[in-house]
Structure 1
Amino acid sequence: MDALTLLVKDLNLRAKLAYSGGFCGRWLIDHNSDQSIWFHLVSKGKSWIHSLNWQAPLMLEDGDLALFLPHAAKHYLSYSSDHLPVDSTDTIATTWDAGDAGFVCGEIELGMPKSALWQALPAEIVIKKSQAGEILEKLIELIVSESAGNRFGSGSVVERLCDSIFVLVVRHCLEEGLVHQGVFVAMQDRRLATVLGLMHQEPWQPWTIAELCSRAGISKTVLSEKFTELVGASPIEYLISWRMQIAAHWLKEPGMTIERVAERCGYDSVPAFSKAFKRSFGVSPGVHRRGRHETNHQV
């Protein structure tokens, strides 16, 4: 598997459907989050994005896609370009046929939303239907068709189809030159992709620079310089960060103990693991597992 596939797989980046249907009235969508990626797929009519980062509202039409990462500015979707309701009191949720506008909305939760991994991506990503490309356009059409059909199990089918949106959006951003640094750019380099693939696939291994260089066919100097330039951290620093992201996911699994997570991440002791985890998250593994935290620390 390539480095991006391993990253998505190991971080368990799964889409959760939040809404599928129509809206009428003076409607407003407020899906701001500092923990998740939110996506909005327009299936019918027109809508406008109001963002503090933009001078004027941006119109979305049938087939357009908008994603907002945790570091996006405050934003809203509404029925009008010149009126932004104070709240969603006048929003009327309807069927697809009855709505003035239609949406498929969902989120992808992130274990470490402040990580440099995500910060390197644009905070707001808007892909018009004409820009989507053949594969993403067909995926969007399939999602809309399945959502509108409201058949047995449609919700589950739509969620799994939406899992692919994030990968295709990252690909779109790279191909359009919207990402200039970070792990996703480093993955475009064959040798760095090999190093990242090793880290992502076996983060518990006691990797050394020498071993990584040997496996990737690259010198220590080139690896250290290119990796740091593109990723913004040394290979070992990134490895520790990756282990913590994986640990954050494992800690939420039913029946998983802190001791087991520490072992799976390659730590010989729970105190050593807990110290590394708290350095990354600002809270202990136990607090994170209970969900009583806000991830305010950048990796």
Structure 2
Amino acid sequence: MDALADLLDGPRARGAFLMRSIMDPPWAVRIEDRAPLTLVSMVRGDAWLVPDDGAPVPLRTGDIAVVRGPDPYTIADDPATPPGAVIHPGELSTTPEGEELCAVLDLGVRTWGERTDGSAVMISGTYQMHGEITQRLLRALPPQLVLDGQSWDSPLPALLASEIVKDEPGQEVVLDRLLDLLLIGVLRAWFSRPEAKAPPWYLAQSDPVVGRALRLIHDDPAQQWTVAELAAKAGVSRAALARRFTALVGEPPMAYLTNWRLALAADALREPDVTIGAVARQVGYGSAFALSAAFKRVRGISPQEHRIGGTRTPSDG
């Protein structure tokens, strides 16, 4: 497993909120659901993504937008159009005055709007992601990114558009997997662009030496890796791996391994029935004491303090 696959394993869609919206101008929808990540596919017509803090971003037919929450934003036919609907947490839609709209604008299976033949059609998929691993991915993304449909050829948007209106057995699982595939495709295409300023850990994956070491760490973080062992499997000397890894990733191999193990541990500790000792063994520490010492040294709090809510998130590359 590579670093991107590991990070995407956290935000995997499970019963994700998917909705097809159909609108006619003038229209504007205010998004206040505080979702950590939302994907918007513009199926037909044009729109504008209007953040509260930043310049409006055009969305053309075929474009895909990924919006990092939880800050609110608006999607509209024109940046000047005032919102006629507000989306709240819990999939609740209201007028700006608070009147519920869910039943009023219901157009059928996972479809919401004014009429079925409206000029603008967009599909939105909302991820509810929490935890240390997914935060590493979110910190690598801008508040809003838009992938131009003209420069990215994929059958996935059309397939999602055709599947979202079906009401068949197992359909939620089908839609979850399609949303995952679309997100992965968009992020890979985005990170490959110079303007994306991809994080060092992503760029380093293409290096034949450092990429191999990263995959080894992510495949088996509990293995008792040393720089010498990683270097041998990567086919270079210990000094060469340490120098090259630090230059490309921004931290030494053992520091990266420690931070990754502690991120995994921080998420595992959120499960109330898992003991600290079990988490320690899962991420490569021989005992609860060893994990606690590393956790306290790097994060400033104990695993138990983290578990009861005293989390302090460290910065990472």
- CA shift for structure 1 position 27: 2.3
Of 90, 94, 98 in structure 1, the residue corresponding to residue 95 of structure 2 is: 90
Distance, in Å, in 1 between the alignment partners of 2:312 and 2:34 is 15
Determine which structure has more spread, i.e. the larger CA radius of gyration.
2
- Pair 1:272-2:313 in alignment: no
What does residue 41 of structure 2 align with?
41
- CA shift for structure 1 position 181: 4.0
- Give, as a single letter, the amino acid of the residue that structure 2 aligns with 1:107: Y
- Pair 1:155-2:157 in alignment: no
- CA shift for structure 1 position 278: 5.0
Contact 1:227 1:233 in 2 (8 A): yes
SS at match of 1:240: helix
What does residue 166 of structure 1 align with?
183
- CA shift for structure 1 position 283: 5.3
Of 121, 127, 131 in structure 1, the residue corresponding to residue 151 of structure 2 is: 131
TM-score, reference length from structure 1: 0.81
What does residue 30 of structure 1 align with?
32
Contact 2:269 2:279 in 1 (8 A): yes
Q: List aligned pairs for 1:13-24, cutoff 5 A.
A: 13-16=11-14, 17-22=16-21
What does residue 265 of structure 2 align with?
247
- Pair 1:211-2:229 in alignment: yes
What does residue 200 of structure 2 align with?
182
Aligned residues: 289
Of 222, 231, 252 in structure 2, the residue corresponding to residue 234 of structure 1 is: 252
Q: Give percent identity, aligned residues only.
A: 27
Of 202, 206, 209 in structure 2, the residue corresponding to residue 191 of structure 1 is: 209
Distance of aligned partners of 1:294 and 1:286 in 2 relative to their CA distance in 1, 3 Å threshold: closer
TM-score, reference length from structure 2: 0.76
- CA shift for structure 1 position 54: 3.6
- Give, as a single letter, the amino acid of the residue that structure 2 aligns with 1:215: K
SS at match of 1:190: coil
Distance of aligned partners of 1:141 and 1:284 in 2 relative to their CA distance in 1, 3 Å threshold: farther
Distance, in Å, in 2 between the alignment partners of 1:282 and 1:83 is 48
Deviation sequence 1:191-233 (CA, Å, 0-9, x none): 1111001100111122111111111012333322332222221
CA RMSD in angstroms comes to: 3.2
Contact 1:22 1:94 in 2 (8 A): no
Contact 2:29 2:74 in 1 (8 A): no
- CA shift for structure 1 position 169: 2.4
Q: List aligned pairs for 1:89-128, cutoff 5 A.
A: 89-90=94-95, 92=101, 93-95=105-107, 96=111, 98=115, 100=118, 101-107=121-127, 109-112=129-132, 118-128=138-148
- CA shift for structure 1 position 163: 1.6
